[in-house]
Amino acid sequence: MAHAMFRPRRLREKPLLRALVRETALAVDDLVYPLFALHGRGVREPIASMPGQFRMSIDELVKEVKDAAGMGIPAVLLFGVPAEKDPRGSEAYAEDGIVQQAVRAVKDVVPDLLVVTDVCLCQYTSHGHCGIVEGGSVRNDPTLELLARVAVSHAEAGADMVAPSDMMDGRVGAIREALDEASFTDTPIMAYSAKYASSFYGPFREAAESAPQFGDRRSYQLDPANALEAMREIALDLDEGADIVMVKPALPYLDIVSRAKAEFGVPLAAYSVSGEYAMIRAAGRLGWLDEERAMLEALVAIRRAGADVVITYFAREAARLLERGSAR
String marking each residue 113-152 x if it binds ligand PBG according to CB under 6 A: -----x-x-x-------x----------------------
Q: How far is the CB of 300 from ligand PBG (least distance, A)?
A: 20
Quick one: which of 248, 295, 251, 297 has its CA closest to 268? 248
Cβ distance 118 to 77 under 8 Å? yes
Shortest distance in whole angstroms from residue 165 CB to ligand PBG? 4
Q: How far is the CB of 287 from ligand PBG (least distance, A)?
A: 25
- The candidate with the shortest Cα–Cα distance to 311, out of 33, 28, 24, 25, is 33
CA 116 to chain centre: 9
| Closest separation in Å from C-beta 266 to ligand PBG | 21
Nearer to ligand PBG, 152 or 207 (CB): 207
Q: Measured from the CB atom, is 184 or 314 closer to ligand PBG?
A: 314
* Full DSSP string of 58-107: HHHHHHHHHHHHHTT--EEEEEEE-S--BTT-GGGG-TTSHHHHHHHHHH
| Site string (72-91) toward ligand PBG, x via CB under 6 A | --------------------
Report which of 323, 299, 328, 215 is spatially closest to residue 32, judged by C-alpha positions: 299
Q: Which residue is nearest to ligand PBG (CB)?
A: 204
- One of 85, 107, 195, 261 is an active-site residue; which one? 195
- Give the rounded distance of the alpha carbon of 84 from its chain centre: 24
Q: Does 168 help bind ligand PBG (rule: CB under 6 A)?
A: no
Q: Evaluate the omega torsion of the peptide bond into residue 82 and state whether it is cis, within 30 degrees of 0.
A: no
Q: For residues 187-246, which are near ligand PBG according to CB under 6 A?
A: 201, 204-205, 210, 217
Cα dihedral 304, 119, 188, 322, rounded to 10, equals -40
Q: Which is nearer to ligand PBG, 164 or 188 (CB)?
A: 164
Pattern 259-298, ligand PBG, x by CB under 6 A = --------------xx------------------------
Q: Which is nearer to ligand PBG, 278 or 321 (CB)?
A: 278
Instruction: State the amino acid at position 95 in one-letter form.
Output: E
Reply yes or no on whether 85 is catalytic.
Answer: no
Residue 248 catalytic?
yes
Nearer to ligand PBG, 166 or 327 (CB): 166
Pairing of strands 132-134, 161-164: unpaired
Q: Which is nearer to ligand PBG, 50 or 319 (CB)?
A: 50
Is the distance from CB of 40 to CB of 83 less than 8 angstroms?
no
Q: Which of 14, 85, 107, 248 is catalytic?
A: 248
Task: Tell how strand 54-57 and strand 44-46 pair up.
Answer: antiparallel
Number of residues that bind ligand PBG (CB under 6 A): 12
Q: Catalytic residue positions?
A: 195, 248
Residue numbers at the binding site for ligand PBG (CB under 6 A):
118, 120, 122, 130, 165, 201, 204-205, 210, 217, 273-274
